[in-house]
Amino acid sequence: MNSFFHSDKFDWQSLLQTYAIPWGIKLVVALIVLLIGLWLAGLITALVGKVLTKANVDAMLVRFIDSILKVLLQIVVIIAALGQLGVQTTSLIAILGAAGLAIGLALQSSLSNFAAGVLLLVFKPFKAGDFIEAGGVLGVVEHVRVFNSVLRTTDNREIIVPNGHIYNGVITNFSARDTRRIDLVVGISYDADIRKAKSLVETILTNDTRVLKDPAATFGVMDLADSSVNLYIRPWVASADYWGTRCDLLEVIKTTFDANGIGIPFPQMDVHLDRPQTD
């Protein structure tokens, strides 16, 4: 400190040359690096987003990639700006790496869901609006987020399922195909006319406009069960018509069989009472 004092006077010129000017230049350069770097980070992120959008990448995945890329670029810019101020960035990077490792270990489950979310967004086994069964939940997909997915059940409940549970399990997508096959099994009594029953089934399927001609419906005798002759009925319908058609066909088959004397048996139990013998 004595170097700044000469004859009891403060040496402002020496202070400016030794500290103020060099540090001022470093500060200005650091600010320039920071401002230009942040602008470039935003520009690069926007360009990547446009390229992915033109490549028909899912909008949700584009937003996710943009956010991750922007954060990474901003971290690089901040480290570069700190380097202009003389900060030992090597040590800073090591500290950030150690902190990242500690956070990763603490949030292992969340990171697993994060990785699963990325894979779901990339490979897209389903999309918003699909009716799926996954993670033990059956419902319509409303949102696919980074850590979890939101499903709406048929009774209008909202269920949030961790992406790890979805991706690591079996995923059944009922909306993936345009058509679905309805599998029905109807039992008729042994004394019923099988040919008449099949003819009635054929008429029912023909009269329902929702039943597709191609692929054609199939039906016939499936099994000779203990108390019934089981008929299999397998029509094809549009996926959107599946449940409505299935319910209507069951009702029409029951009423038509009743009207034409085709009995549909149900389990019965015969109880025999033995009277005690009297002398």
- 195-251 pLDDT, tens digit per residue, is 999 999 999 999 999 999 999 999 999 999 888 999 999 999 999 899 999 999 999
Alpha-carbon torsion (250, 256, 259, 263), positive or negative: negative
Give 273-279's long-range contacts (Cβ < 8 A, gap of 24+).
none
Strands 5-6 and 148-152, bridge-based pairing: unpaired
- 104-151 pLDDT, tens digit per residue, is 555 556 677 888 888 887 788 988 889 999 988 999 998 887 788 899
Give 143-152's long-range contacts (Cβ < 8 A, gap of 24+).
144/60, 144/117, 144/120, 145/117, 146/64, 146/114, 146/117, 146/118, 147/110, 147/113, 147/114, 147/117, 148/113, 148/117, 149/117, 149/120
* Among 120, 136, 119, CA closest to 128: 120
Cβ–Cβ < 8 Å for 264, 188? yes
Which residue carries 């054609």 as its tokens? Answer: 216
Cβ–Cβ < 8 Å for 38, 74? yes
Cβ–Cβ < 8 Å for 151, 162? no
Please give the pLDDT value at position 202.
94
Please give the pLDDT value at position 241.
93
**H-helix or E-strand spanning residue 221:** strand 218-224
Higher pLDDT, 5 or 43: 43
